[in-house]
Amino acid sequence: MLNPLRFIYRTYCALIFAVSLILVYPLFKIVLARKKWWPFGFKCMHIYAKSILILLFIRLKEIRKRPELPKSAFIICSNHSSFIDIPCLYTMFDFYFTFTGKQEIEKWPLFRIFYTSGMNILVDRHNPKNAVTAMRRMINEIELNHPLMIFPEEQLPKMPLIWDRSNRELFRLQYKNRFQ
């Protein structure tokens, strides 16, 4: 059985997130409409993420000094187990990066704007052709010197050869360009 305080807090979080996203949606609709505005859109998401965390009474604490990040593109591989992970990542990194996300996000109201605008990359793990297209886009983002945020999934897709080749390409590109 769910603890009553936990239920109240989860309900509060859902309401804060839904109401705030509805309020800022018009801003995101505008700043994500044109590719040249994406860096500003990213800054808006950074501010929005910080605001969400404050409203949810979540404080991030740096446990140890973060190493200096490379000036060239790099890959951020993060665990993803909570609805709070994405705001935390936008708060932790204040520079432009490209997210990858599962294709299902395209069907979610409000969330879809962050991926259908083209600023981030959707991956359909069940469609080999789409997976290859998404991987090419990821490689292109790295070649444009944009860091890439990847969330590894718990289960492997049923097309390991494509993903193996794609992963090799991504890491070959990383080695070739001496990404860190």
Q: What is the DSSP string of 113-132?
A: HHHHTSSSEEE-TT-HHHHH
The total number of residues shown for the chain amounts to 180
Per-residue pLDDT, 155: 46
- Structural domain that includes position 93: 4-60+69-176
pTM: 0.76
Q: Report the SS3 class of residue 73.
A: coil
Q: How far apart are the first and last CA of the chain?
A: 45
Predicted local distance difference test score (pLDDT) of residue 150: 84
Rounded to the nearest 10°, the torsion over CA 23, 120, 50, 84 is 90
Summarised one tens digit per residue, pLDDT across range 119-166 is 888 888 788 888 888 888 888 888 888 888 887 764 444 444 444 455
Number of domains the chain is built from: 1
Query: Could you tell me which residue, 22 or 85, shows the higher pLDDT?
Result: 22
Question: In this predicted model, what pLDDT tens digit does every residue of 50-104 receive, in sequence order?
Answer: 999 999 999 988 888 877 877 788 888 877 777 788 888 889 887 888 888 888 8
